[in-house]
Amino acid sequence: MLWIKNGVVVDPKNRINAEKMDLFVKDGKIVEESKVKKGDCKVIDASGKLVVAGGIDMHAHIAGGKINTGRVMRPEEMRVVRNIAGKFRATVGRVLLTAPAIGYEYAKMGYTMSFEAATPPITSPHTHEELDAIPIIDKGALPVFGNWHLVFKCIEEKNLEKLKSLIAWTIERSKGFGVKIVNPGGVEAWMYGGNVKGLDEQVPGFAVTPREIITWLMRANEELNLPHSIHLHCNNLGIPGNYQTTIESIKLANGLKNEKRQILHVTHVQFNSYAGNSWRDVASGAAEIAKIVNSMDNVTIDMGQAIFGHATAMTGDAPFQFTLHKLIGARWSNKDTEVETGAGIVPIGYLPSNPVHTLQWAIGLELGLLIESDKVVLTTDYPNGGPFTEYPYVMAMLMSKKMREGELKRVHQYVQKATTLPSIETEKTLYEVIHMTRSLPARVMGLDKKGHLGIGADADIAIYDLNPLTTDFSNEFDRVYKAFKVSEFTIKDGDVVAKKGELVKEVFGKTFWVDASKKVDVEAVIPDVKSYFDFYTVQFSNYGVDERWLKKSKRIEVI
């Protein structure tokens, strides 16, 4: 049992804004005071300190084939040994961290959950092996559907029931969490050396379009009533003028409603917010995207903030990665994954002296500042925009115009004419930023026990050496950044796992996955699935992941 005394609590889900209060923990849950014996509790004095729920990174690339290939491509990353401490494992990497380092670095920062944002179903055993190797945090993974021949076949046949069965069967077999869509139709076109440029361009070899792929998967997802909405990586990522495609894609959610959550989540929108006709006149389209997102009550996004320094581009968007490779002349790896999807990896770094990199940096902040805090989640699309360990930098920037003004002086001045960032007066409040990093990502993912400190919530808690009642967040931005960089205490399921940046206990979090197999007749799609195994390198009987293989399984049943 645990008693956190006199903390200054910020808990947006429960409308608690910097109130002095005590929290009580028993059996890994937050409980009422009457449920514990105070004399038996371990006590943490949080007087004058900020107490919030553990952070949730709802979109990152932390496990599976892409990050492993990225590690191989960047051996210089593996020369950086980050931590060797007593019984804890060596943690290696600068940005592309090894599995132990991922868990440790999240925990030291006060984050307690992260989702692998794109896994091909056929490689799900690899993904789960790596997820199980990540200590402390809870995890989940999103299997990809937007370029799978079987999905195209269901849409061609206009067979929604079969599509629902395919989704339910695949998520259960891959122990996945939801429906991820990456450049719908574009990765299939890449198999023929091309891409798709608009929502109504037909996918080679199939009588389907990106518009149909998105809308049919959206309908299927809603009829299955999965905890999370579809999770969309839009077409034309990284191309000047793509903000128009993004807006057109967002509008596909018009007229649809779910009482509990959004209908559509659009991810790493920074990479899809470019105006202009070429890289010579590229500019920000973030203000226009913000207008459309703010006008709709059934769409959320995450930022995909660029961070100056080292990164590695890795996505399931193979044609974009080849384009990036040709554009910057960096190394490139392509990975076509059977008939389900394809991916690419390109090492990259963001320089404040580079006009395009500065534009990307500014666009992420524009999205975070211009979009209502109930609709935008803080991410860097790790490692595409940069390391998740710099979330505190982004948090401080959102809360301080003075900090942004200082940063604007050291970056390429192209940002002054190509973005609205210099003129934005908005300063997010601490309450809003905690919502963007805790309660909102929990709601977007459909996790009612996460992201808050109410009775019955999982006891995932972060305590920071920062008093909201006395801190001037606009002017004391350096202090704010340093405080969020390293928690005073990180508590996972009631266990203190980190204290003042030092790991004190290694535990293993749960792997969350969704089982919607009772919602549909999954057997109805099996003949179609089996017919494709002439093209696979595994047998049908070996496809997917058994629950008993997971270290700590957390099954969410949808009925």
What's the pLDDT tens digit per position in 125-134?
999 999 999 9
Tokens 């034309």, residue located: 236
Give pLDDT, residue 89. Answer: 85
From the list 251, 226, 220, 249, the residue with the least C-alpha distance to 237 is: 249
Give pLDDT, residue 78. Answer: 77
Q: Under a CB-based contact definition with an 8 Å cutoff, are residues 50 and 61 in contact?
A: no
Confidence of residue 79 (pLDDT cuts 50, 70, 90): confident
Span 468-508, pLDDT tens digits: 999 999 999 999 999 999 999 999 999 999 999 899 999 99
Span 87-117, pLDDT tens digits: 788 888 889 999 999 999 999 999 999 999 9
Looking at the predicted structure, is the pLDDT value of residue 80 above 90? no
Looking at the predicted structure, is the pLDDT value of residue 202 above 70? yes
Can you say how many angstroms the Cα of residue 35 is from the centroid of all Cα atoms in its chain? 35
Q: Under CATH, to which class is 2-52+455-503 assigned?
A: mainly beta
Q: What is the mean pLDDT of residues 1-23?
A: 98
* pTM over cut 0.95: yes
Span 318-349, pLDDT tens digits: 999 999 999 999 999 988 888 899 999 999 99
> Domain 53-445 maps to which CATH number in 3.40.50, 2.60.40, 1.25.40, 3.20.20?
3.20.20
Give pLDDT, residue 191. Answer: 87
Give pLDDT, residue 86. Answer: 65
Confidence of residue 455 (pLDDT cuts 50, 70, 90): very high
Q: Which two tokens stand for residue 168?
A: 């339910």
Q: Under a CB-based contact definition with an 8 Å cutoff, are residues 462 and 54 in contact?
A: yes
Q: Which residues contact 527 (CB under 8 A, 6 or more apart)?
A: none
Q: Which two tokens stand for residue 101?
A: 């380092």
Give pLDDT, residue 167. Answer: 98
Span 25-63, pLDDT tens digits: 999 999 999 999 999 999 999 999 999 999 999 999 999
Neighbour count for residue 29 (Cβ, 10 Å): 16
Host H or E run for residue 341: strand 341-350
Looking at the predicted structure, is the pLDDT value of residue 193 above 70? yes
Give pLDDT, residue 84. Answer: 62
Nearest-angstrom CA–CA distance, 193 and 319: 8
Location of each CATH 2.30.40.10 domain in the chain: 2-52+455-503
Host H or E run for residue 506: none
From the list 230, 99, 227, 301, the residue with the least C-alpha distance to 513 is: 227
490 to 136, 218, 346: CA distances (angstroms): 10, 37, 34
Give pLDDT, residue 85. Answer: 57
Following CA atoms 225, 226, 228, 229 in sequence, which dihedral angle do they give, to the nearest 10 degrees? -50
Mean pLDDT of the chain: 96
Q: Under a CB-based contact definition with an 8 Å cutoff, are residues 34 and 356 in contact?
A: no
Location of each CATH 3.20.20 domain in the chain: 53-445
Q: What is the mean pLDDT of residues 436-446?
A: 98
Tokens 């599995």, residue located: 99
Give pLDDT, residue 535. Answer: 83
Q: What is the mean pLDDT of residues 186-193?
A: 93
Q: Which two tokens stand for residue 457?
A: 């919530």
From the list 373, 499, 484, the residue with the least C-alpha distance to 429 is: 373
Looking at the predicted structure, is the pLDDT value of residue 536 above 90? no
Tokens 């500065």, residue located: 358
